[in-house]
Amino acid sequence: MKRTLVLFTVIVICIVGTVAFLHYPKKTEYNILMQNVEALAGGENLTPVHCAGLGCVDCPINAIKVKYVVSGWSFNE
C-alpha cells in the first residue's frame, strides 16, 4: 500500500512537471530572433523618415497607415 502511494505520487509529480514544462512560454528567444531579423532587414540606411496624416500608405517607422511618407533630408544622396 505504501509502495503504491509513493509510486503514484512520483508519477503525478512527473506528469505535472512535464505539463508545466511544455506550457512554459519561450517568447524571449522568439523576441530576440525577431529583433535581429528586423535589424538585418532594415539595412544600414539611416535617412530620416517622417509620416503624416491618415491614409493607405504604410509608414516604415511603426507600420501604420498614413497619408504621406517623407524621406530624405540627407546630404549623402
The answer to whether the pTM exceeds 0.95 is: no
pLDDT classification of 76: cutoffs 50, 70, 90: very low
The C-alpha cell 516604415 sits at: 60
User: What pLDDT digit, counting tens, does each position of 16-60 carry?
Assistant: 999 888 887 666 667 777 777 777 776 666 667 788 888 898 888
Tell me the residue type at 51: C
Ramachandran category for residue 42: left, alpha or beta (phi over 0 → left; psi -120 to 50 → alpha): alpha
d(CA 48, CA 72): 6
The span from the CA of 46 to the CA of 74, in Å, is 9
User: Is 12's pLDDT higher than 60?
Assistant: yes
The per-type count for the chain, helices as H runs and strands as E runs, is: 2, 2
Tell me how far apart the alpha carbons of residues 7 and 32 are, in angstroms, rounded to a whole number. Answer: 41
> Where do the structural domains in the chain lie, given as residue ranges?
1-44, 45-77
